Every structure is written in C-alpha cells, then in structure tokens.
Structure 1
C-alpha cells in the first residue's frame, strides 16, 4: 500500500515537471558577439526557477547565407525546439522568420528593428520583437537634427532591409516638416560575408556625399560595415571639423564595446535602444554574473536582449503549464507538411506578456576621446532628455564631443571649399553680370573678364571659402524655361539639373524653377516694365460707344428681360380676376341673368364674339365695354418707357400687375444708375490711356492680352 502511494506521488511529480528545448541562433560571422551571447545565455538559464518548467538551450551557428540559415533552423526543428532566439540584424531575421513561421515556430528577435518585419511570416506565427521599431529611432534622430537646427543632411545606408527600411520614416519626417531636406541618400551594396567587405563598396557613395557639400551625415547600416566606412571617411576628409556623423543602433551596438584607442570614432553621435542599463535588476544581474566569473563586457545590447528573450519564453511556458494540457511536444522537421499547432499557443502567450518595448526609449550616445558614453536619452512622449534633467539647452551643452574634435555644435554648413573648382553659369545681364569690352568670346570662362553685382559676390565667396571657379555659357545661351513640347528645361536650369554647372547668376526666382532647382535668399528685387498698346484713345471714334459700358451678354439679358416682363404684365392683366379683362371673364362665370346664361352657353360653344347681344342689362357687358386696356402692344409700351423714366395712361389695375411693375421700375433705376456711372468712367479712361499701374492691375483687367518674352530671366515656360 505504501509502495503504491509513493509510486503515485512520484508519477504525479513527474507529470508536473515539464522540460522544453529552446533554439539559439548564433552568427558565425560575428564570433565575439556570439561568444558573449552564449556565455550570458547559459548564465541566464541557471538563474531561472526551473522547479516545474525547465528550458534547455539548443545552440546552432550559421553563416550569413540563406542556405546556411535554412539548414540551421532545420537542425533545431529536429531537436524539437518550441521557440528560437536570435540576435541577428533585420535582414537575416527576416529570412529566419520566413522559414520558421511555416512550422509555427516563434522567432524571438533581440535586435531586429525593421518596421516591416511583422509581415515577414508566412503563417499564423510571426516575430516577437524585443527592440522597438526603427520608426521610433527615426524620430529620435530627427529630434537631434531639429535641436541643433541641422536642416540639411545626407543619408548613407546599406542596400538591405535594415538600411533601406530603417530610414524611410526619417525621410518622411524631413519631407513632412517642410524645413528639413535630405539632399542625397546613398545606398551601398550590403555584402553578407565579412570577407567580401572592402573600401571599393563605399568609395563612390562617400564621394557623392562629399561632392554634395553636405556636412551632416546619418549612417544606417550593420556593425560589420562601420569600421571600413569610417576609415575611408577619414581618408576623404569627411571626418574633419564641421562635419557631423549620427549613427543608428546597427553601428552603435558595436561602438558600445569599442575602446576607440585610435580615436577613429571621436565625435560620433548615436542612438541605441535602452535595454535597462540604468535599472536595479540589470545592475544586480550584472553583479551576479561578474561574481560568477563572467566578463562584464558580455553585457551588450544583443546579449542582454537574448537573455531577456530566454526569461520571456520561460515565463510563457510556465503559465501554459499551469493552465493545463496543451500540444507541448513539437515533432516537425523541414520535411513535415503539417505545422505544429502548439506553436500558435506559445506565440500568443509570449505576445500577451510585457516585452519592454511598450514605451520606446533610446540612449543618446557620444564617442568621446576614449569611450562611447551616454549623454542623454530620448523618449517618445517627451523627446530629448538631458542627464539629470539638466536645464541647459542641448545645443548649448559643452559636454558633447563633435567631430574635429571640439565641443561647440557645428552649424551643419560648410565653412570651406578648399580644393573645389566650381563651374558658374552666367549671361550678360547688366548690372548683374557684365563682360568686359576688352575681352573676346574665347575668354568667356575667365573670371577676370566679368564684373557686376553677382560676379563680385562670386569673387568674394571664392576668397572666403577658398575655391576656384570659371564661367560657363549656358545651354543655347538662355536663362532657362520649361519647354511644353518636349517636357524638358533649357538654358541654365537645364545645365544645373544635368550637373553641367554648379551654380548660376542672373537667374530670377519663380515657382516653376523652384520646383527643380534651389535658390539662395534673394538680395535684390527687380521690377518689370509693361509695354501696352492702347486699343483706342477716344470713345468718339466708335459710333456705338454708348453700348460699351455693358458687355454684349448684359445687353442680350436686358432685352430678354424686357420681353419676359412684357409677357408677364399682359398675362396678369388678362387672367387676374382683378384686372380689366379678368373682371369680364369672372363676371361671365358668376352672373345669373338670362343674357349671361346665353353668353356662357355661347362661350361653352367657343363662340367668343358677342355681336348679337348688344342690348343687355347685365354687369358683364358694362365690364366688356372697357375692353382690355393692357393688351400686348400697350404692355410693351409701358415696360419700354420705364428706361427713360416715363409712363403711360394705361396701368395695371390688378395688385399682382402693380407689384410686378414696381419691381421693374426699381430694377430700371438701378440699371440706369450703373449705366450712367460706367459710361462716364469709360469716357474718362479712354482719354487717360490703359490705366495699368501695377501687376495686380494687369492681372485683373480684361482689355489686354499679355505675356513674357520667352527664355528671359523671369519666364517659366518656353513659347
């Protein structure tokens, strides 16, 4: 009996104990980072409460190729893993999610930040993200640009998912603001194999950024490219005083554990997701790890995020074990046709737990002379926050090292063009730019042959910024207008668009040109002269001058209105019961005498003449004797005489007709006043000429057609 009880207790204890395999993917191309992840992950497992639920790590290394990643995941599936931990970048994580999701195996990503990764899965199970999306990082970088008023910047990014998608939001924010501009965005080939990385991958892109004269550069790429890019930037003079480099987390994750002994990264600013470095639990865990013989440098973004992922998976599995039975034994392989149903439950349970990215926070890092240090933070709700809530504005702080190195924030604009030779497009346009009479056409490019306002400015700039220059004759010797027949620009605008010249002079600002080229702030406002040929000097030259105060359409409307009012007057007089003719008809309908009866009978037979009934004693005949005083001819005469403020002896007797006539007379009074005023003004203006004194007058008048001479400095369109 006792033996059976002990056996049952043992079996119950075994049934309450659950062990699970969790995969760990390590990038063989990053041995140092992989080693730190391996050591900290092993330590994290020993710190878990595994009294009822245990996890065992199944570690697999892979090369950064699609085939190697697929083989690694297949190897983990054969070991019956319930989830896979990864510290890969966005590009490699996207491949991992695409493969693992087919079998409902969740990928817990510690460092992938691509904002579009959630759509990488092909099943009901997707990625579990432990780092905030690059959308928030873009906002943090943009806030840095706004704080220092770096309104123009360039972007250098890798041509992979992380590099391209990581700066989409930054470009959108700059475009939406209206005050910031991304002058050049350069993408370089993102080699997966570290051995394939060389200087030639970045030389072209860095050269284009240098030629753009931009001083603020945002670097968004993986860790493996950073050292090569920075060394080449030093050689090309892009790390000199006045330049600003802002790196994203792909670079910052490596700089975090870099000593900067050669000062290569001095002056770099960077954003890095906050992973609890300032929290008490982080410090306690790190102290326990170090006391157990661990290397403190193992605590970096990637390793800490994987450690957090282990804790998250263990917590989810423990909760599922407490809830009851579930499909806890995956048995899929890469040859299986069915996905593991329990994987959906694991994914949903993990997603229901807090993962630390609900309120994104970034550390603002700065590489000083020796190390990468935190100089502030960024929070979604408040923006940039200085250490200890310092009241000193960010742009006035003196504890941040900039490229140079120096402690004063750069303006973001270049202060020197040493070594540059600029091509300046110009046209003879006094007093803007004039060619000396002593020079020939063969000397067009010689700066000494030119003088004028803009040429003097160019000469002064060349001395202050230390560059050389030459003048270039523009395309077809024109300023630049848009040709509607070809859909292209000509002149100096065409030369700037096609990089045939670097800048130009004597070119006026207008809306069409501003859409394709940039202008400096204007320093001179010119005035346009208008040449007008008057149509007529005297109204008397036109025998119908009295018709000119009103447009033809107005005269036609007046005639139509006269006809309409005439018909209405006649109609109301004839059919109104209170009108002269209307009274007769009404009397015929109400009179009860015999004669009237006969009349109604005659009327019913449509015999409208009453010549045979001259003798009568009925009222209707008395009404008939008055006749219809406002027939069509009399109505026409009554309405027409209103224009000359005259009347007739025949007026409507019905109230409706009288009200209509009153309304018509009021209208005629207003119309006559307008006609008189317009005729007077018309006669006066024709004596004084066109009367166009401003651009507003030209735009509002209708008497003259106007335009600009094609291909002049003010024109927008050709032809």
Structure 2
C-alpha cells in the first residue's frame, strides 16, 4: 500500500503507517474489537490511524492498532480476542460496538487495569465507575437521549404511546430515564414490548409484540433498537397496517445513527421505501469537529474494496465516533509525551491456565490521561466528565422523507429543542398530525352480560317511582352505577341482559366450555361482563380483567346467635308443646268428670248429704293434671278406678316427656356452645354439629378445589366428600340454608358483608378474610379496550366516584 504497511497478526492484524523521509519512533499498539456486520466502523478506525500518522498528531511516533473482528453476538469470542490483544502489550482497547458487547469485554479490561474506549455504547449503567472502572465513553448516554425524546414528543403534544425495544442491555436500559420522566409528566405508556435480537435481523420474531401495540389503541410508538432490526420491524408493521396514515414512529439514535444502509433509497430507486417514510428522531451530529473536513475528504476518497462503507459522501455519526476514539487516544499519548511521562506496556495474562494474573502497573496512569483529554474530533469537541462520559450533548432532529434523512431541528442539553421554522415534519403516510390515542368505543353499543348480586347488581320490574321498568332501567346497584359513569366518560352505549344459566362462570370439563358470564364473553355473545365477578388466575388465562372495581376476599358466614327469654322451649317444637297441653287438659277433664260421677253415685247409695270438701271436685282434677307436668305431686288420688288408671298412664307419659325434654335441652345447649366456639375457618374441622359449604358455581368453590394451603385444602376435601348436602346452586339458596341453622357458608366477602349488614340482620361473619382479590369487569382476551377501561377506573377512584357509590350502596 502506498505510504503505509499492514502487519497481519494471528487472529487479527496490526496497522501502522510509516514515512519514507523521516524516522518515527515505534509506539505501543492499541487494541480494537470490531464486528463483521458493521464493517464501516473498522474502516473508520483504520483510516483514523492513517490520519493520525499522516498529520503527525503524535509527534515523532507511529500509531499502531491490532484489530480483531467477530460476529455481534459472539461475546465469548470477543473476550478471547481481547485477552489475545492484552498479551501483545497494548495500551488501550477501542470497542467493541454495542452495549452488551462492551459489558462482556469489560471483564477483561477491569481485571487487567487496561483502559477501554467505547465509541458507541450508550447504556446509562456504563457510568457506574465501580462496575466499569476502565471505561471511557465517546457517545452520550441514553439518559441524555431520553431527555431529547421527551422534548420531541412534548413538541407534538403526544402524551400517550407504546414502546418497543430490543431485549438486550442497550434496549432494556436505554429508555429507563424516558419512562421516569414520562411518569412524572403523567403520560400514559400503554405497553412496553421487547424482542430478542438475532444474528440475522430477518430472523427476529416481533409479530405478537406489534399485535399487542396495535390493540392498545396508542398510535405513537417509540422504537429503541439498532437500525438493522428496525428495518425488519417496520416492514412487518407496514404489513399489519401500523406504518401508514394515523401512526407516528419516534426512533432513537440506535436507528438514526446507523441507518445509512438500511434506511436509504434502494439500489436503482430514487425513493426510500414508503413504509419507512415519516420516521422522526434525534441523531448525534456526524461531522462538526475541526478534523471533520480533512477526515471526511479522506473517507470519501478511500477505496470501498479496501475500506468497506467508505467512499460515500457522508459518514454515519457512530461510524465517525470510531475515528474520535482514535483521536482521543492520540491526544492522550501526545499529552503523555509533552509531560515527559512514560508508560511501559507489558504482556498481560488472562489467567487461562490458573496462574494469578497481574494488572497493568501503568494502567491507572494511561486511564488518567485519557479522562483528561480535551481535543477536537470529527463529530465535535471531545471532553469527558467525572464519570468518563462525553459532555456537551447535542442531537439533530431528523425526519426520513422520500429522498432520505432531513434535518428538521436540533436539541442540546443546555437550551433544549428548537425545530426549524422552514422544515415541515412529515409523519407516516404523509400525515402532518397524529392523534396519540385512537379508540372506537365512542362509536359502539356494547352488549353487557350481568348477574344479580345483592348490592352490586339488582334487577327489579319497577323503577324507584313505582313505574314499570324495561331495558337498562331494570338494573341498579354499585356495578350498574359505576358502569354508567364509565359510559359517560368513554362515550359508549350499552345494553344489559341477565346471564341465562345464572352463574358467574366456571370451566366445565365435561363439555369443554365455560359457563355463566365468562362463557358468554368468550363465545362473543357479550362484549363485556359487569357484576360481582371475582378476578381469578383461571379466568385471566382465557379473558382480560380490568383493574379491580371493588376489593374482595373469601369470608365465612354463620347464623347469628339469638339470645331469648323463651329459649327453654326450643328443645320441643310448637306442635309438640300444643299436643302436651291439650293432652293435659283432656286428662284433667276426664278425671274431673269421673270424680263427679263417682261422688254422685256414692251420695245416692248412702243417702247422706253431699260432702262439702271440694278437693276432689271437677276443677281440682283438671288442675292436678297440669301440675303433674312439672312433677308437683298429687294433692289427692282419684276416687274412681277410671280416674286412677288415667292418672297412672298420664304420669308415665309425663315422665317420658320430661326425660325427652331434658335430653333435647342438653343437646340444644351443646349446639349453641359449638356455634360460639367457631372463630375461624379452621375451627370447622374440629366439630361435627355444623356443616359447611359454598356455591358450586362460584370462584370460591374452584379455589377450594385447587388450593394446597391448609386448612383450606382440608376444608375443600371435606366439602367435596359431602357435596350433595353442603354445596348450593345460588347465593339466595346459600343464605336461606345459613338462616336455617347448623350451616356455615364460604362466599365472596363483598356479598357476605352486604347480606350481614341488611335486614333481618341475623347473620355474622366469622374470622378474617382470606384469598383477597377483587371484582373486575371481564373482556375478551387481548381486548383493545382493557387499557381504556383501566384508565377510566383509575380516574373514578381519583375523583371520589367510588366513595360515593360505596356510601350509596
């Protein structure tokens, strides 16, 4: 090669430039790690080495660089290549390109105290000096980029958006500050989706992520990834109707800064592909430094066969940063030379064979001089802050049009955003404005399935004025009033109907379908379900719930103990008490008649006057029949044989009745003591007097069948063993069964609380709530309205609508 010599090494090459007419001292080489899918970076690096030597930027020395190249995701190979370069006695390593690559290779740099210059990596976490002590960053961190993006979206008054990022360090960390600021501004990020990068961009899978973004209704998409992936994403988005009129894609510098190949007019065509036209986003300047003119002349005149990517009129901003990295290193060497400081490179060992590796003794000195660099570059002035990040951040705002990228504004950290007055921004599909959120709810009439639930949904044939009610007027309650408010906010209309089978919804494995409210939503018969419908994992797997509209859990309800003055009569039924009293009266009357007849016969036979003693009279016999009930003892004995026989058998009957009463009273008092001893769900397992159950068509019963937590698992097993007797089909049947006594019900706490707090106030909740979840509105899976309802529900809570409805119902 004219005026220069390439020295090829194993696993790489060494580049130097010598002059025929002057002797230059040898300089310890630098290392360089590049990737095969970004050959322009390698070309910029090599041309920059030539530029430094040609212009004698380091007097009397020749700069050399050992470069190794690998694929973008071959992180282990990069580590091995850096170890090889370290063994050659380099003074610093330049590269690699992406954040993930820098993080991987920094393990070697940190361990060997070897300065590392990252031309492109922008992850804000790289500023952690404890984790990356040897790193110098030529590019501004994404925390600065986030501020530029925020100002750009604010310029267009876009406060709702979705985010799509690559699932790597660059993508997942890059917009952290963006999300933080957006949250402070109360902007709505409807969804944040990510995709896995691949070696071949055409292999990435992103259709499901794009589908989710489309269904949210947000029409502003912030895309943060590398350009080669963005081209494929936007091609697929176009096929899904997401890259035309009404959409806006705001892209980061990972795209605008690397878009020279993927985002330019195709070969033989004069226009950028239509699905790419309209992109807008910030890009760092590519040529604003004092060296930009001379270096760009060298770049344009270079042979593309030798320097891939060169020979073009322009250079990409991140490609130019590889040249800036070389210039920064050259300036550090010049400063060392001027200060008379000598650094002695040494062969560094990565400890492959288990020997203790030693860091480079002069590494801290070299790092110090690199951090102190202040010099002109290709992209602008090169200066670093205390975290070794480049300062004086500024971005051009670019808009991709049919002929390529056009500058429509600029942004810098000190003065913010300034858009060009004479340049119009053209968005996707040629639009000049885009609404950040689009919903067709305002044009829809929703078919709403519901189920009666006390306090939440109540159905009546007449309205509050006593007039016959029809249609939606038949429904009232907490859920009905809340849904009416949501309708007024979101602009939709609705029509109620009651679910045919009267169930909330469980999965019937025999028929392979869901019942109740859930079944109607899944089948498409209803657009949404509104009722006291519990949010469960089973239901969430097949449909979408909104945020909870009411807190809920599972509660235990029993009949309230009712103390009574007449409780002693409870062991016998009223019919039995009546029978006993009637029998006592009949026996008394019989004995009285028998006594009178016997006394009259005696008077007639003896001819004596009537005895004045009335103790054996008619009414005395009746009285004695009743006193026998309480065992006061006989005051006289019947004088007739018939009376004495009847008294004998009546006494036996009274004895049996008293014994039975005594036994029943003991059992009755025992049951009352059992009722009072139950203070939690677990206490039900230690007794046999009170049965317990649940509504077989509710989420409560499903939870008992699936739980593995004690004592609820054992309670579920006990209920299942006696399911025909303890499980009920409706809530009303359940409450009736509780009121009959000796039955405890597990049910939704919200419904239980309503029933307990209303007339006849004869029920009570026992113990604490468990399995606390909530009630939600149910929509089809991946409904595009879920997010919209969630926003309105949050607004209802913030505006006090919930408190008013709670008080009302």
Greater strand share, 1 or 2? Answer: 2
Which SS does the other structure have where 1:20 is aligned?
coil
Q: What does residue range 73-84 of structure 1 map to in structure 2 within 5 Å?
A: 73-84=82-93
CA contact (8 A) 1:110 1:305 kept: yes
2:221 maps to 1:233: no
Equivalence for 1:274: 285
Mapped partners of 1:18, 1:504: distance in 2: 65
Mapped partners of 1:81, 1:486: distance in 2: 65
2:249 maps to 1:263: no
Report how far residue 270 of structure 1 moved: 1.5
Structure 2 CA distance for partners of 1:271 and 1:436, relative to 1, 3 Å: farther
Structure 2 CA distance for partners of 1:122 and 1:340, relative to 1, 3 Å: farther
2:495 maps to 1:495: no
CA contact (8 A) 1:266 1:368 kept: yes
Q: What does residue range 385-396 of structure 1 map to in structure 2 within 5 Å?
A: 385-387=418-420, 390=421
Report how far residue 22 of structure 1 moved: 1.2
Q: 2:552 aligns with which of 473, 483, 492?
A: 483
Q: 1:404 aligns with which of 424, 429, 433?
A: 429
Write the deviation string for residues 552-597 of structure 1: whole angstroms up to 9, x where unpaired: xxxxxxxxxxxxxxxxxxxxxxxxxxxxxxxxxxxxxxxxxxxxxx
Equivalence for 2:190: 183
Equivalence for 1:113: 122
Q: 2:248 aligns with which of 244, 266, 270?
A: 244
Q: Under a length normalisation based on structure 2, what TM-score does the superposition of the two structures give? A: 0.53
Equivalence for 1:305: 321
Mapped partners of 1:435, 1:156: distance in 2: 54
Mapped partners of 2:444, 2:318: distance in 1: 43
Report how far residue 329 of structure 1 moved: 2.1
Mapped partners of 1:46, 1:333: distance in 2: 33
Write the deviation string for residues 280-319 of structure 1: whole angstroms up to 9, x where unpaired: 5423431344356661356212321111111111111122
Structure 2 CA distance for partners of 1:269 and 1:469, relative to 1, 3 Å: farther
Write the deviation string for residues 446-499 of structure 1: whole angstroms up to 9, x where unpaired: xxxx99994994259xxxxxxx994433243799421263575544x3536997
2:364 maps to 1:344: yes
Q: 1:316 aligns with which of 332, 347, 352?
A: 332
Report how far residue 110 of structure 1 moved: 0.9
Mapped partners of 2:484, 2:148: distance in 1: 48
Mapped partners of 1:117, 1:527: distance in 2: 48
Mapped partners of 1:500, 1:409: distance in 2: 26
Equivalence for 1:207: 211
Structure 2 CA distance for partners of 1:451 and 1:56, relative to 1, 3 Å: closer
Q: What does residue range 484-523 of structure 1 map to in structure 2 within 5 Å?
A: 485-486=769-770, 488=772, 490-491=774-775, 493-495=776-778, 502=785, 517=794
Q: Under a length normalisation based on structure 1, what TM-score does the superposition of the two structures give? A: 0.59
Equivalence for 1:464: none
2:208 maps to 1:198: no
Structure 2 CA distance for partners of 1:47 and 1:436, relative to 1, 3 Å: farther
CA contact (8 A) 1:423 1:501 kept: no
Structure 2 CA distance for partners of 1:15 and 1:398, relative to 1, 3 Å: closer
Equivalence for 1:366: 399
Equivalence for 1:160: 168
Which SS does the other structure have where 1:254 is aligned?
coil
Aligned length: 481
Q: What does residue range 309-708 of structure 1 map to in structure 2 within 5 Å?
A: 309-335=325-351, 337-354=357-374, 355-356=382-383, 357-387=390-420, 390=421, 399-406=424-431, 408-414=432-438, 437=470, 454=487, 457-459=491-493, 470-476=526-532, 480-483=549-552, 485-486=769-770, 488=772, 490-491=774-775, 493-495=776-778, 502=785, 517=794, 708=807
Question: Structure 1 stretch 38-47 or stretch 155-164: which is displaced more?
Answer: 38-47
Mapped partners of 1:81, 1:527: distance in 2: 70
How large is the RMSD of aligned CA atoms in angstroms? 4.3
CA contact (8 A) 1:424 1:503 kept: no
Mapped partners of 2:197, 2:45: distance in 1: 24
Report how far residue 171 of structure 1 moved: 0.6
